[in-house]
Amino acid sequence: MNRTNVGDPNYFHKVVDCQWACPAHTNVPEYIRMIAQGRFTDAYMLNRESNVFPGILGRTCDRPCEPACRRGRLDGKPVAICRLKRVAADHRGEIGDRLPKIPAKKNGKRVALVGAGPASLTVANDLMPLGYEVVIYEQNAKPGGLMRTNIPSFRLPAHVLDDECQTILDFGVDIRYNTPVSSMKALLAEGYDAIFIGSGAPRGKELELPGRHDTDRIHIGIDWLESIAFGHIDKVGEKVLIIGVGNTAMDCCRSSRRLGANDIKVMARRPRGYFKASPWELEDAEEEGVEILINHAPKRFVLENGKLTGMEFERLEWDAKAKTSKVIDTVFLPADDVILAIGQENAFPWFERDLGAEFDKWDAPVVDEKTFMSTRPGVFFGGDAAFGPKNIIWAVEHGHQAAISIYNYCEKIDVTERPPYGMNLASQKMGLMEWSYHNDYNPAPRQKMIHVDLAKRFKELSIEVELGFNPEQTAKEVQRCLNCDVETVFTAEKCIECDACVDICP
């Protein structure tokens, strides 16, 4: 084993497992300490420094930090990091005077952003305080991208989304609503110093089976959710089948419940351990009466006299490792509507292929994973548009890194240059903390989120299901944090093997 190099700053970051696991490297232990002290606005601003959208992410993040949390190794339940983030957002004070000051005199550089989703908004958030002129081209009438169109309001209330998007737009961003980009060549002709494309992965995957195009009662999941978001769909049939078992499928089945369906089945091809949906999303769906059927492969859509009546499935039996399967029989399930939620893809029909930007065999842009620049200098990608569907927190980090690259590119600096770990264009260095020398921990169990009663939550589509932690729950949950960022540093040559470091380690 190689000796640990305590001279490497990343050594100290890596042992703070939650912060290292967060794509945006949010300073989790410090904001939890602030919440414990009742400093909700400070906690919110510390969050915002790295993840930009604490109120949104406190409700929708897929929580890569929590499986990494050391508390989970003690009692099987990590600290409720995501839900504590929401506490800071829900109870913060006014932040206007704590936001970056935007210089009245611009630096002469103009940057265009395609799409007003989390990646593009993060780029704007980072560049505006440096004097850049930022123009966003957004095809819809409101900002937010897929956060607005694909996350139902019972999970993400519109006022939370509006507030955190508007905070960035109020920096003076020139956002042009209802203005889709139809030609990259035309956009390049506008003379921008750099262009960032954060248009998401807007195309839902198809399921080409017999009967697919013979009825209008078969829907693409993300398009269907968008139609709900903009008020174009307000009802659904009583019996609904959802094909797919990711988070989009969970949003579709729970939305169906609120639009009148009472027999909802989510159809999974593989066993339960292979689902892509977050465990808490599955729990919420099943609590609301959604049935999840495993080992069912769709075979065909069934119609009678031009009307959808259901689907035929092959029931599968998998080997022990779920690598290979065999068909054991065929079943028919009735349905008034079928919703396809089997994935999303990039789509760039407006980006001409003779502009020097390479696209791979899947028609996705070739993008540098460090700088987020395409093979055409000055054109950058981020979020789902760069590497396919992920989640909001990854889009935010893509935005931070792309903003650094755009700054370097415009200032004639090598675009591969990066600031130290965990820093973006606006962040500050970590400080030192005082600490007490003991290894005891609070044995309190993880707090359970309070939900709106089942009898009430289906009355309106916009009723938020999760109510957030109350003060008592918050006080208990913050005490579960082990403060892993408080570290003992020793000089190996002076070690006397007293084992004090072992005693203190969580």
Residue 427 has a pLDDT of 58
pLDDT tens string 467-494: 989 999 998 889 898 888 776 566 667 7
Which residue reads 């004070």 in tokens? 93
CA–CA distances in Å: residue 209 to residues 104, 293, 327, 417, 446? 58, 20, 17, 49, 45
pLDDT tens string 285-305: 999 999 999 999 999 999 999
The whole-number average pLDDT for the span 101-109 is 95
CA–CA distances in Å: residue 115 to residues 24, 105, 162, 376? 20, 26, 16, 19
* pLDDT(434) > 60: no
Supply the DSSP symbol for 149: H
Residue 391 has a pLDDT of 92
Residue 469 has a pLDDT of 92
Could you tell me the pLDDT band of residue 173, with boundaries at 50, 70 and 90?
very high
DSSP letters along 447-488, please?
PPPPB--HHHHTS-TT--SB----HHHHHHHHTT---TT---
Residue 487 has a pLDDT of 62
Residue 26 has a pLDDT of 93
Residue 6 has a pLDDT of 54
Residue 320 has a pLDDT of 84
Could you tell me the pLDDT band of residue 322, with boundaries at 50, 70 and 90?
confident
The whole-number average pLDDT for the span 439-460 is 83
Residue 418 has a pLDDT of 87
Residue 239 has a pLDDT of 98
What phi and psi values does residue 315 have, to the nearest 5 degrees? Answer: -85, 130
Could you tell me the pLDDT band of residue 504, with boundaries at 50, 70 and 90?
low
Residue 277 has a pLDDT of 93
pLDDT tens string 128-145: 999 999 999 999 999 999
Residue 389 has a pLDDT of 84
Burial 262-283 (b: 16+ CB within 10 A, else e): ebbbbbbbbeeeebebbeebbe
Name which residue leads in pLDDT, 506 or 386: 386
The whole-number average pLDDT for the span 48-68 is 96
* pLDDT(372) > 60: yes
Q: Which of 143-152, 269-278, 414-423 has the lowest mean pLDDT?
A: 414-423
What angle is formed at CA 439 by the lines to CA 437 and CA 445, rounded to 5 degrees?
A: 135
Q: How large a percentage of the chain has pLDDT more than 70? A: 92
Three-class DSSP category at 176: strand
Nearest to 244 by CA among 386, 337, 169, 342: 342
Max CA pair span of the chain: 85
What phi and psi values does residue 73 have, to the nearest 5 degrees? Answer: -80, -20
Q: Which of 245-259, 375-389, 469-483, 486-500 has the lowest mean pLDDT?
A: 486-500
Could you tell me the pLDDT band of residue 444, with boundaries at 50, 70 and 90?
confident
* pLDDT(333) > 90: yes
Residue 428 has a pLDDT of 41
Residue 432 has a pLDDT of 39
Domains annotated on the chain, with CATH: 9-97+432-504 (1.10.1060), 102-202+346-410 (3.50.50.60), 205-343 (3.50.50.60)
| The model's pTM | 0.90
Q: Which of 83-87, 382-386, 465-469, 496-500 has the lowest mean pLDDT?
A: 496-500
* pLDDT(429) > 60: no
Residue 74 has a pLDDT of 87
Residue 231 has a pLDDT of 93
CA–CA distances in Å: residue 192 to residues 30, 186, 268, 397? 39, 11, 46, 23
Residue 3 has a pLDDT of 58
Name which residue leads in pLDDT, 441 or 158: 158
Residue 247 pairs in a beta bridge with none
Q: What gap in Å lies between CA 199 and CA 385, rounded to an integer?
A: 6
Residue 436 has a pLDDT of 47
* pLDDT(505) > 90: no
* pLDDT(348) > 60: yes
Give me the amino acid identity at 366.
Answer: V
Q: Which of 196-200, 278-282, 493-497 has the lowest mean pLDDT?
A: 493-497
Residue 309 has a pLDDT of 98
